[in-house]
Amino acid sequence: MPERRPRKDAARNREAVLAAADALFVRCESPEDVTMADIAAAAGVGKGTLFRAFGDRAGLLRALYEARLEPIRQAVEVGPPPLGPATPPRDRVPALLDAVLCFKLDNRRLALALEEGGSSSPYRAEHYGRWHSLLRAVLEQVPGLTDSDFTAHALLAATRADLVEHLAGEERIPRERMRSQLANFVTSVLASGPPQGLTAEE
Amino acid sequence: MPERRPRKDAARNREAVLAAADALFVRCESPEDVTMADIAAAAGVGKGTLFRAFGDRAGLLRALYEARLEPIRQAVEVGPPPLGPATPPRDRVPALLDAVLCFKLDNRRLALALEEGGSSSPYRAEHYGRWHSLLRAVLEQVPGLTDSDFTAHALLAATRADLVEHLAGEERIPRERMRSQLANFVTSVLASGPPQGLTAEE
DNA sequence: GTCAAAACGGACCCAGGGTCCGGATTCTAT
DNA sequence: ATAGAATCCGGACCCTGGGTCCGTTTTGAC
């Protein structure tokens, strides 16, 4: 099956919708007061178009999220340390979580809209699955650390969009402070367990 | 102001609604397919009654939640160790989080409905505020532990209703295993920092 | 028993996600 | 270039579910 590519206008409209949605989410107070009709209007497009292109609200949000996430995904999969695969586990774990935190700080409303969007739990999203299994795998390589699966969940939970929003918005905690607090937290989780040998173990 | 007490029928109906809602939430698959109309019908009451008594959906959920939470609240505020105030901080922290976890396991659907209920973030709920400031205060008494505020948030995040639901439902992790994993996690967070002297410090 | 205050309940309203289909656009083949 | 089919457009329309309103009923104080 040749998988014929979409028509030109379809592609153009798809981009217009993504751009419009992004802009609206940045400007809005809360994600739920940007409606599908709003997005369609802002993109100069009919509602039908928007639903045909993305299926439903969640689909649109996902598409936006994935697009924004792409650079980080690259950096994690094939980039240089401290995010890339060549990093020693004890350094990579904090780096990964810091990246997630920064991403959510930079895309607060969007992340909020997607994670707490209602209907299905954020834990079913495949992007969560990716972060979790990656983190889990890296944690597994940290000597003396058990329960990597749960630990990965728990660490990621510390970067939940609504928590980040609360800390940044309500408690007015500055970005750098939040990053360092998360780093400390992660470190303390990693630090426990058997003596994490200094430099020379034998 | 005498604050005259409610009429008999009002009180009776209020109880009926709470009971009906509780029953429905236990039976349902997802909290969002138990509608306000359903609850009213199940309680043998009109929708108006239900809204007059609780204000809105969130109000009803909150009322239910608080009611279920009451025993634990008592145990924490005036009960014996390990939950009560007489417990040494290092022991009380895990106990508190274990209590939260167990509560969410026992009231999965309800907690889900309230925390991810939509509109306003769970971090604005006053019951969250209570848990957080208590935990924060206890953490503050653990020597060598910094960032109690953030740490309290991060630890509580590990017991978020939808995470618990995911672990118990999707990943089929048994209760006791989850409790011990959480306990390990908490311990590792507490363990770091300065030497937590054995028994004799001087 | 009487009467005002309080509560009842279901018809009603409305926003917002999602669907539908007649008409406009784009691609392909000749 | 152009006919014709495939695809897409867009906004009128539907439907669910939270929340409101008000005529009627219940309660309880005197």
Domain boundary assignment for chain B: 1-55, 58-191
The reply to whether B200 touches chain A by the CB within 8 Å rule is: no
The reply to whether A91 touches chain B by the CB within 8 Å rule is: no
Report CB contact under 8 Å: A157, B160.
Answer: yes
* Min Cα–Cα distance to chain A from B123, Å: 7
Report CB contact under 8 Å: B163, A157.
Answer: yes
pLDDT in tens, A49-104: 999 999 999 999 999 999 999 999 999 999 999 999 999 999 999 999 999 999 99
Residue A77 CB coordination number (10 Å): 12
Q: pLDDT value at position B1?
A: 47
Rounded Cα distance, A107 and A101, in Å: 10
pLDDT in tens, A4-30: 677 887 889 899 999 999 999 999 988
Rounded Cα distance, A59 and B81, in Å: 49
DSSP A123: G
Q: pLDDT value at position A116?
A: 79
What percentage of chain A carries pLDDT values higher than 70? 93
Rounded Cα distance, A101 and B89, in Å: 29
DSSP A169: I
Q: pLDDT value at position A1?
A: 46
Contacts of A193 in chain B (CB under 8 A): 188
Answer whether B89's CB lies under 8 Å from B138's CB. Answer: yes
Please list, residue by residue across A113-132, b when 16 or more beta carbons sit within 10 angstroms of its beta carbon and e when fewer do. bbbbbeeebbbebeebeebb
- CA-to-C1' span, B126 to C7 (A): 29
Contacts of A181 in chain B (CB under 8 A): 147, 150-151
- pLDDT digits (tens), chain B, 202 positions: 455 677 888 889 999 999 999 999 999 988 998 999 999 999 889 999 999 999 999 999 999 999 999 999 999 999 999 999 999 999 999 999 999 999 999 999 999 998 877 777 899 999 999 999 999 999 999 998 999 999 999 999 999 999 999 999 999 999 999 999 999 999 999 987 665 444 444 4
Instruction: Using alpha carbons, select from A161, A118, A162 the residue that is nearest to residue B31.
Output: A118
Residue B149 CB coordination number (10 Å): 18
The reply to whether B169 touches chain A by the CB within 8 Å rule is: no
Q: pLDDT value at position A200?
A: 42
Mark out the alpha helices in chain A (DSSP H runs): 8-27, 36-42, 47-54, 57-78, 89-106, 108-115, 126-140, 148-157, 161-165, 175-191
Rounded Cα distance, B190 and B98, in Å: 15
The reply to whether B133 touches chain A by the CB within 8 Å rule is: no
What's the Cα-to-Cα distance from B36 to each of B64, B68, B181, rounded to whole Å? 14, 20, 37
Answer whether A21's CB lies under 8 Å from A109's CB. Answer: no
Report CB contact under 8 Å: B157, A154.
Answer: yes
B27 touches strand D (CB under 7 A): no
Nearest residue for C20, CA–C1': A48
The fold of B1-55 is: Arc Repressor Mutant, subunit A (1.10.10)
Rounded Cα distance, B69 and B179, in Å: 19
